[in-house]
Amino acid sequence: MEEQMQQSNGTDWTVEEECGVCSIIFSIYSKFPPMPSAQALNMETGEFFPFERVRKLKSGYAMAEALGVAWACNCRERSKKRFDEQFTLRDPNERALSDTLYTVRFPSGELKHGVTDHAGRTQRHKTDGAQAVRIYLGHRQSA
């Protein structure tokens, strides 16, 4: 079998190092013909972006991230070391807080601001390990 190289974030790795999900995604999307006006959908955020961006990525994992399906990846123990959480904000009556400003404070003090979607969901927040985060309604000034 011919060894194929893929490059991701400056690190070379072989196809054999990718899980089945990432290998299939790469084999499908890397062979698409150019489609300059086509749009792709990030399944996690619901945002559309130019399809050419996916087609030009150099690894199946990078493509899975762009498409919002990297949570299904099982490459090189990524899912065990990496946390990728999305929160749903609700009022005391369990109604979704849609289009609500929020701030996430990480233990490092880093703040990330966002707006919930129509179902009260935040953007996904990625960390390298388990961390306790605080979520505040509205945008806070850094303290």
Residues 36-68 have pLDDT tens digits of: 899 999 888 888 999 999 988 988 888 988 898
The two three-digit tokens of residue 70, written as one number: 């990297």
pTM score over 0.75:
no
Helix (H, G, I), strand (E, B) or coil at 33: coil
For 9-32, the pLDDT digits (tens) are 434 444 446 788 888 899 999 888
